[in-house]
Structure 1
Amino acid sequence: MALHLSWTSVIVGCISASLAGIFNNSDLYPRLWKESSGASSISDAYPPLWKESPGRLADPTQRTGCGHESGDHLCISVDSWWADFNYYLSAMPFLAAIDSGIMGISSDNVTFLPPSKDQMSFCYNVSSCHSSFPEAMKKWNEFYQHVKSCSDNLDDLLKYLWAAHVSSLKIAHKNFHDRLKYYSKQEADFERSWALFVDYLAPPRFPTTLTRMYEFQKGLPTRMLASGDIAPFIKDFTGFQNTVLLALNFIRKVHEYTGTLSFTVWKTLMKVKVARKLFLEILEFILHFFN
């Protein structure tokens, strides 16, 4: 399916005017990106972020070969906590983009096939997403309308982007919490910590540029966590990865200990533009230090 080039050019123009430092590096592209249809000038101008977690999209129950080398290693399991969360951060924004008119595609022409189970936990076209998850679709549409207007600065666009992102995550949290039982305690704790950390990134409006996320994700575990993996003493992880795991666990424990008071204080503090700028500068320094 080809993108409507006029609106695609507008999106690229608006975002590229705000985001500096995007460079062409084949390592930043997702696996099979070059082989996919339509990966041409648009991808060169603003290549999309692809979060590929080794082993985390596979069937955690081990009942099938989905996502495992012994079976279809490109398969994405409906039982994967990571895959289910990413569905609402990819499929829903895509359908909302169609609904907003930004892609020049009729919503009547796009319907996703349902998975083999838990069909009611997902939506498959624009109308079903609106009826099942109206608040999240509203937030994504608001973001795309501001992108279309090309009048907001990057900070304002990020405000609407993160509002939509968090709205999608709320659905995933509610629908897929039971998936955590399929994982080791260490992996499940990491999943909880990561999801919480993303919530903490929303108030400062963390700019998720391709290169910044590429550098940040070097700190994420390169494999599923197993029993006995205790940061910062995981031998096959880098110092950066051990530090990130330790920091994520610390944030989660503080959050739980304070009964979400820490998050309330954080959101209040991040309403101040100077505080947001300072936090992002500190985070940027940390990324440069480790990378």
Structure 2
Amino acid sequence: MTEYHLDDLLYLMARLRDPQSGCPWDIKQDYASIAPSTLEEAYEVVDAIEKEDFAHLKEELGDLLFQVIFYSQIGREEGRFTFDGIVSGLVAKLIRRHPHVFPDGSLHSRVDSRHALPDDVKARWEIIKQQERAEKGAQGALADVPLNLPALSRAAKLQKRAAVVGFDWEDIQGPIAKVREELLEVEEAIQAGDRAAIEEELGDLLFAAVNISRFLKLDPEQALRRANQKFEARFGYMEANVSKTMEDAGMDELNRLWDEAKQAL
């Protein structure tokens, strides 16, 4: 089997985008039209990792890499940036962000003594990232948190940024109490029948729940994905064992099957 390399992939991408002999679909794409595929490919990588499907992880990583190659080809055509420029900028940024590994700011420099303590590394990382945001002209600690992140992930990132500058609960009891408070406010909004208020209070409740996950150093997006998977498995058990159809079965039978599923899965 022929072995291909990065240069071959860059050449292939240029051929696909060739105005005279390329692929009509690839030629008409732009940054915005590719973006949804990028998100999809990223999720497929995560899905393969969570399922420990390493046979497909290699393929999914290739699909994700292709997204970067696609963007870099468009950037080269427009004279904005190149793949080499992307790599160079990335290496420079990572060297800058890891002074505990590259002490004099060059790729081949090394630390003679042991690594800095984890807390020191984290503190330096945050300081460097704040400096980078300031250099980019970002106004405020929350200015460059991407709008298109999944809502749970974005909530966690917003809370983390706020905590870095000192706006945080003293301990986990604060977020726990906040969840209880927000749940009461959801119930009050439901009783009032105000749908706009219900949506607002429900959002506040979810945001408060994310704070608990952050204090516990858990990823709320991953926690919810696993809850979804658990629900799917248990619901599948019910569908496989119901005496009639799900629609025709009574709630007594469905509740019994759900309890069985909880014991089995």
| Fold shared by both chains (TM-score > 0.5) | no
TM-score using structure 1 length: 0.25
TM-score (norm 2): 0.26
Instruction: Choose between structure 1 and 2 for higher RCO, CA contacts under 8 A separated by at least 6 residues.
Output: 1
Relative to its length, the structure with more helix (as a share) is 2
Query: Larger Cα Rg: Structure 1 or Structure 2?
Result: 2
